[in-house]
A and B are shown apart, each in its own frame.
Chain A
Amino acid sequence: MSYLQLKCIVNGDLVELDIEPSELLIDVLRDRLNLTGVKKGCKKGECGACTIIMNGDAVNSCLVPAARAQGAVIETIEGISKTGRLHPLQQCFIENGAIQCGYCTPGMIMSAKALLDKNPHPTKQEIREALAGNLCRCTGYVKIEKAVEQAAKIIFEITEGRGTSK
């Protein structure tokens, strides 16, 4: 077995790691980097619990070979409140009661973040499209949708307050 030296940025930190070429990103994140906020609901791309953001796009980390993360910028749920302050999405999920068992939550929040990073004013349809790959069995999605709508507003207010938006 030849090892592969993986170099990538995970949650803002440079990570250098010897991996086996056939390892999956989900396993490297969970088992090697202890980022267990990356959840495993199916390992087949069918539930979204393992969603992370790779180079700006939401992806199922269970379908990505870790080797493909070479040089990539990766964000997981653990990284979006690194400064100690909750991300507006996290805040809105909490305040709206959008979290029940919480198993879908990290993936759900990462899908929503990938959306809002690119599209700060999503329509209801766009929110639903962005979250359709994240199954939740607890909430009926009602409060999740609300939380994302509210977070979009808050993010807009923050960025506008800073004058960085049009």
Chain B
Amino acid sequence: MIPENIIGKSISRVESAEKATGTAVFTADMKLPNMLFGKVLRSPYPHAKIVSIDTSKAEALPGVKAVVTYKNSPSVIFNTAARTAQQKINQVDDEVIFGKVVRYVGDEIAAVAATSEEIAAEALTLIEVNYEILPAVFDPLEAMKPDAPQLHDCKNGNNIATLIKLPMGDVEQGFAESETVIEQSFKVPVQKHCQLENHAAIAEVSHNGRITVWSPTQTPHTAKNLLAKIFGLPASKVRVLNPPYIGGGFGARIGFCGKTEPIAVLLAQKTGRPVLLSYDRKEDFIASDTRHSGYITVKLGAKKDGQLKALYINAVLNTGAYASYGPDVIAVLGTTNCSVYRVPNVLFEGSLVYTNTTTAAAMRGFGNPQGNYALECSMDILAEKLGLDPVELRLKNIIKPFDKWMLPYPCATSALEDCIQLGAKSIGWERRNEPKVPVNHKVRGIGMACGTHVSNAGPWAIQYDNAYLAVQQDGSVLVTVGITDMGQGSATALTQVAAEALGVPVEKVHVLAGDTDTSPHSLGSNASRTLYSAGLSIINAADKVKQQILDFCAGEFGVDSSELSIKNGIVSCKDPNKGQLKFEEVCDLANHKDLQFVAVGRNKLSNAPPWIAHFAEVEVDLETGEVEVLRFVAAHDSGKIINPTIVEGQIEGAVLQGVGYALSEQIVYNDKGQQAQDSFHEYYMPSIKDTPEIETIIVETEEPSGPFGAKGVGECAQVPVAGAIANAVANAIGDRINELPMNKERVLAAIMQKEK
């Protein structure tokens, strides 16, 4: 059978039958013999010292097998980002499994392993803790003040975990040359990932001390290295793997899944039995990473004709109780948003600030959506001041391939201009200026925003990846990679890449992801890099294997290997008289000569910008402030598309997360420092009834650095959604809100303000 070209085909996902029939195994579905159940005791206070802790009553409860606190657990200080950041980013180690100080409501104090979850829960109520309550601070601007309660010792200023400054050109000079300058501040909220599967981990310790952990981590290798460090073991004695399925990630599971992995390991070590630690939804909400909230100010300077001369962005992000990925997040916020437009003079300044709130870390877009919202609202403000159409202003200024920008890698491809044009056409942009006549107290508005993102983690973080490719004796192909498929479809897209690279049918390829024992190092699934980096690694491995096959066949045919080629699963010679060999035949021959074709492939250390233009049409109820998104058009350049249906799915899902971010999602804190939203009931992520009509437009480019021309996609569609909706709301009501989410209350306040 001759395989057809598989790139660009919407084949069904390789695992979807398992998921559709309920047989797919997720972490908490697993049962190991003798398994115990863990539960965690959490701080009820936002900031306190533990004066004393008595676990004796809990230990005495029948069924309880271990109780762990700071007294009997490793005191190794770590960062869940696991030192994947490059030196230029000042990474901070500031966490231990259990500390003597708790810094947010939900911070871990102790854990119990018992024969049932109910007994473990009961044991928690028997642990007696005496606290010395410390003053707490929740807002980053407050926390930066010299007299604010201190969470950690910081050398950059009170509670400032990281200060970052990224200049290009001379921004002062740029503003001096500008004829129009605007400046605006924005406030962004805490958003939560809300992946449907709660965090969980199962740990098992073998007699020789080797640890195995099943968890839905997006980064098994990172988690493995971190566990090795915390427990003082060689990394080779730790295995982390997915079970194999992950119920969504969106950044919540980069590094650890909450602290489930280290706590489960600790309990397994103490008891000698496997332990399942499964967070409930409330724990997932209050005690696992969130998106960074904060304040962002944008200052833009332009010539009268709209040509941008200077851009200044200042971000103060709230990283919560621990720094985690904060330093990387703030860097990405700056670089991505300074790289959408061709501006000769740019300055980004960022402050990452500790407060007594849940730790903020990676979430889809990694800082970019926050900055993009501020930048894209500012572009509309500038357009209005200049009397220019927002589309026109953007088209005039967008980065073109090989323009100078602050990133160390080139912009080799961009279809942003096409994305903007096609999106504008689809939404009916010309209707934007029609007079706003309320019908039933409702007005409509249209808005847009555009942006860029990344396809890999560099230059901010380590970004190398490996793929191990082993051709089996029957010619089928096993590929193992250290990335994970948390639902984004990578296993399928990578199967297509491997099939194409080797010229074998997809049915003969199996891609195994998410197991540190089976693959060399990988940074895992984050930074929209999975297909890009693992794809490049697989192609590299396939190239090596192909060369091995050609060298082997050269001997068989008695020619030089340069005379041979592999195509569509057949090895043939330039000289047609020499005949040809099918892939299976070659493998069988090789096997009988004690040979297997095996290779480890490496990605190139490259990166590439995907491009996005989003358009929204909204309807605003002038009496209640309710905003409904009627239609959303998402135009994307993610390079060459490997699997269109999967890409559309990524875009649609991210758009809806963006709609929630724009209109309804937030976690706020009450005066006791508690999260006011700690369940789905109170946290308003959109339901199917809140979903607008979403149209996806794909404009393909051939990215020279990407696998078969592909770029990143996973995070992209979340980036400009809030900006597009904010600009549409402003178009509808004639006023701006400058704070997310634009819930009814804020929108109505703006409408009433305007009427005054």
Direct A–B touching, Cβ under 8 Å: yes
Query: Given A99-B13, A103-B197, A135-B680, A77–B22 Cβ distance below 8 Å?
Result: yes
Contact B689 A128 (CB under 8 A): yes
Contact B688 A131 (CB under 8 A): yes
Query: Given A100-B487, A101-B195, A41–B281 Cβ distance below 8 Å?
Result: yes
Q: Does A7 contact B (CB under 8 A)?
A: no
Assembled-state Cα–Cα distance A106/B681 (Å): 21
Q: B379 → chain A, closest Cβ, in Å?
A: 26
B19: A residues at CB distance < 8 A: 99, 101-102, 105
Contact A37 B21 (CB under 8 A): yes
Query: Given A43-B281, A101-B195, A102-B245, A86–B20 Cβ distance below 8 Å?
Result: yes
Contact B648 A97 (CB under 8 A): yes
Assembled-state Cα–Cα distance A132/B680 (Å): 13
Contact B691 A135 (CB under 8 A): no
Q: Which A17-58 residues have a C-beta within 8 angstroms of B?
A: 30, 35-44, 46-47, 49
Which residue in A30, A132, A137, A142 is a CB contact (below 8 Å) of B194?
A: A137
Q: Which A124-148 residues have a C-beta within 8 angstroms of B?
A: 128-129, 131-145
Residues of B within 8 Å of A, CB-based: how many?
54
A-B CB contacts (within 8 Å), total count: 167
* Contact indicator per residue, chain A 86-129, by CB within 8 Å of chain B (1) or not (0): 10001001111101111111100100000000000000000011
Q: Does B488 contact A (CB under 8 A)?
A: yes
B13: A residues at CB distance < 8 A: 94, 97, 99
Query: Given A94-B16, A100-B487, A102-B15, A136–B22 Cβ distance below 8 Å?
Result: no
Dominant secondary structure of chain B at its interface with chain A: loop
Assembled-state Cα–Cα distance A43/B488 (Å): 25
Which residue in B10, B28, B280, B681 is a CB contact (below 8 Å) of A97?
A: B10
Q: A44 → chain B, closest Cβ, in Å?
A: 6
A86: B residues at CB distance < 8 A: 17, 20-21
Contact A139 B28 (CB under 8 A): no
Which residue in B22, B26, B691 is a CB contact (below 8 Å) of A141?
A: B691
Which residue in A30, A90, A136 is a CB contact (below 8 Å) of B21?
A: A90
Assembled-state Cα–Cα distance A129/B688 (Å): 8
Q: Does A61 contact B (CB under 8 A)?
A: no
Name the residue on B nearest A42 (C-beta). Answer: B281
A81: B residues at CB distance < 8 A: 21
Q: Does A16 contact B (CB under 8 A)?
A: no
Q: B117 → chain A, closest Cβ, in Å?
A: 10
Name the residue on A nearest B10 (C-beta). Answer: A97
Q: Does B522 contact A (CB under 8 A)?
A: no
Which residue in A42, A49, A129, A139 is a CB contact (below 8 Å) of B652?
A: A139
In the A-B complex, list the 6 residue pairs whose CB atoms are closest, starting with the nearest: A37-B22, A101-B487, A102-B19, A103-B247, A140-B652, A77-B22
24 CB contacts below 8 A, A to B, read A35-B22, A37-B24, A41-B196, A42-B281, A43-B280, A49-B196, A78-B22, A90-B21, A93-B20, A94-B17, A99-B13, A99-B16, A100-B487, A100-B649, A101-B19, A101-B246, A102-B18, A104-B196, A105-B20, A132-B687, A141-B688, A143-B648, A144-B688, A145-B688
* B residues adjacent to A (C-beta < 8 A): 10, 12-13, 15-26, 28-29, 193-198, 245-250, 280-281, 486-489, 645-646, 648-649, 652-657, 679-681, 685, 687-689, 691, 694
* A residues adjacent to B (C-beta < 8 A): 30, 35-44, 46-47, 49, 76-78, 81, 86, 90, 93-97, 99-106, 109, 128-129, 131-145
